[in-house]
Amino acid sequence: MIRNGRIVTAADDFHGDIGIRGGRIAVLGQALPRGHREIDAEGRLVTPGGVDAHCHIDEPPYLNARLADDFRSASRSAACGGTTTFVPFINQLKGETLAAARDDYMRRAAPSLIDYGFHMILKADEPERIRTELPALLEAGLRSVKVFMTYDGYMMDDAQIMEIMEMVRAVDGIVMVHAENGHCAHHAVSKLHAQGRDGLSYFPETSPQAIEREAVHRAITLAELTDTRVMIVHVSGDEAMEQIRWSRARGHRTLAETCPQYLLDLEPHLHSDEWETAKYICSPPVRESARAGDLWRGLVQGDLDLVSSDHCPYRFEGDDGKKAFGEARLGQVPPGLPGLETRLPLLYQEGVATGRLTPQRFVELTATRPAQLYGLYPRKGSLMPGADADVVIWETGAPRPIRHADLHDACDYTPYEGHGVTAWPACTLSRGEVIWDAATGHVSDAHGRGQFIPGRRGEP
Ligand code: DUC
Ligand code: ZN
Ligand code: ZN
């Protein structure tokens, strides 16, 4: 029994108790009878566990660069940050069948502490394999794939993307699109190199908003032509968002995601050519326009559906992370920021504590909507009777600085070092089990208790 909390869901905000039985929510009410175990939530916020629908875990190395987190460390870190379900990517090895890649990721995920689903990243260089193998995987339950409009080996042409959209449409799944025009980005990098302007401070010039805006427009158009649900992932600025608004006004069901790194004002960290800048390099780049707050307005108005982390944990030190290629120059730094554990506290701080978002909208963006879109609702992202008892009890109070030393991932830095937050998960429950207790600093070591949750077909 979770007693006397301020219970916030995507719809409600009330004081009461939550009764849990057999790992599920049994009852919500007031003055409920005593439980076998009582958790005092007096004066505390209680929300559904977070659902992080975009994170990179244990993916194959990119040249010398290697992600620091496997499913053990990533799930531990997620739990301590209030996330009880994540949906990482299956990323196929060269020559591997798509089914073998899926089976491989099911094995890799076995030590997870929290529940999980999967999306699949599709690569450009094996169109025949996609053509022949993807329909069977979709039939077997895969609900979402990610395609890229940039990156060597990943960048697809429009026809290939349309073909994939048609396959995914057959199961009413979602095509996630990394929307940056790779041709334009390549051209910008070559030109900057030729001019000797290849320090890290030129990174924003390699992919300005126009490069994202054009790709978003194209992705939306391809989705319209194939009548497919498209998710524009990691929307970084107002220009991409304008395209999403435009397509919705025309009646299309375009979906969109952003991430904390695009909502906070990180762009000033890109002004130096020193290695330190590498800690803030992700694709698309963080934007100067974040200061204007347009993406926040998009979250309030519903132009954006969800906030994911895009956790991509390359270490800063060592020769297998941000410094893998040895030089602090354009094109030599693998893009990606860690953020699984900080996603919810940062969004709470910058959204709820500042008054930009209601607590309900915070829950909707970070738990309910991602669960709905990827077919995990109402088991996940909800506190309704029958749902999995995935619950976060929050501690709120004076600002506490984020310190990497206090986090639980396997990375060696956080881009948010020193950022003050006034809310932090005091206790995280997954299917009724306490997996994180901040009072004792204890994280469950029951690795392997996490379960694969198959995505249901279509939207609820
Ligand atoms: N961009 C991506 O597309 N993937 C991982 C990290 C990043 O910055
Ligand atoms: Zn991407
Ligand atoms: Zn990503």
Predicted confidence pLDDT, tens digits, the chain (460 residues): 999 999 999 999 999 999 999 999 999 999 999 999 999 999 999 999 999 999 999 999 988 899 999 999 999 999 999 999 999 999 999 899 999 999 999 999 999 999 999 999 999 999 999 999 999 999 999 999 999 999 999 999 999 999 999 999 999 999 999 999 999 999 999 999 999 999 999 999 999 999 999 999 999 999 999 999 999 999 999 999 999 999 999 999 999 999 999 999 999 999 999 999 999 999 999 999 998 899 999 999 999 999 999 999 999 999 999 999 999 999 999 999 999 999 999 999 999 999 999 999 999 999 999 999 999 999 999 999 999 999 999 999 999 999 999 999 999 999 999 999 999 999 999 999 999 999 999 999 999 999 999 999 876 5
Indicate if ligand 1 lies below 6 Å from the C-beta of 286.
no
pLDDT given at position 393: 98
Exposure string for 256-266, b = 16+ CB within 10 A, e = fewer: bbbbbbbbbeb
Q: Ligand 1, atom 4: nearest CA belongs to which residue?
A: 336
Pocket probe mutation, ligand 1, options 54, 55, 56, max atoms within 8 Å of Cβ: 56
pLDDT given at position 63: 80
In angstroms, what is the span from residue 147 Cα to ligand 2's centroid? 8
In angstroms, what is the span from residue 234 Cα to ligand 2's centroid? 7
**CA 186 to CA 174: how far, in whole Å?**
28
Are the CB atoms for 41 and 5 separated by under 8 Å? yes
For residue 178, which atom of ligand 1 is closest to its CA?
Answer: 3
- Separation of CA 365 from chain center: 11
Indicate if ligand 1 lies below 6 Å from the C-beta of 336.
yes
**CA-based nearest residue to 125, from 95, 154, 96:** 154
Pocket probe mutation, ligand 1, options 282, 287, 340, max atoms within 8 Å of Cβ: 282
Q: Ligand 1, atom 2: nearest CA belongs to which residue?
A: 283
Q: Which ligand is nearest to the CA of 119?
A: 3
| pLDDT tens digit sequence for 209-257 | 999 999 999 999 999 999 999 999 999 999 999 999 999 999 999 999 9
Pocket probe mutation, ligand 1, options 66, 234, 333, max atoms within 8 Å of Cβ: 234
Indicate if ligand 1 lies below 6 Å from the C-beta of 178.
yes
- One-letter amino acid at 135 equals P
**CA 406 to CA 255: how far, in whole Å?**
34
Q: In Å, what is the CA distance from 92 to each residue of 60, 102, 159, 346?
A: 8, 8, 21, 32
Indicate if ligand 1 lies below 6 Å from the C-beta of 124.
no
Q: Residues 118, 54, 265, CA angle at the centre, nearest 5°?
A: 175
- The third-level CATH classification (topology) of the domain covering 49-373 is TIM Barrel (3.20.20)
pLDDT given at position 460: 57
Q: Ligand 1, atom 3: nearest CA belongs to which residue?
A: 283
Are the CB atoms for 56 and 67 separated by under 8 Å? yes
**CA 264 to CA 337: how far, in whole Å?**
13
In angstroms, what is the span from residue 241 Cα to ligand 2's centroid? 16
Q: Is 403 helix (H, G, I), strand (E, B) or coil?
A: coil
pLDDT given at position 449: 98
Q: In this structure, what token pair is assigned to residue 7?
A: 């219970």
**CA 376 to CA 456: how far, in whole Å?**
7
pTM of the prediction? 0.98
pLDDT given at position 113: 98
**CA 156 to CA 160: how far, in whole Å?**
6
Domains of the chain, residue spans: 49-373
In angstroms, what is the span from residue 5 Cα to ligand 2's centroid? 38
In angstroms, what is the span from residue 19 Cα to ligand 3's centroid? 37
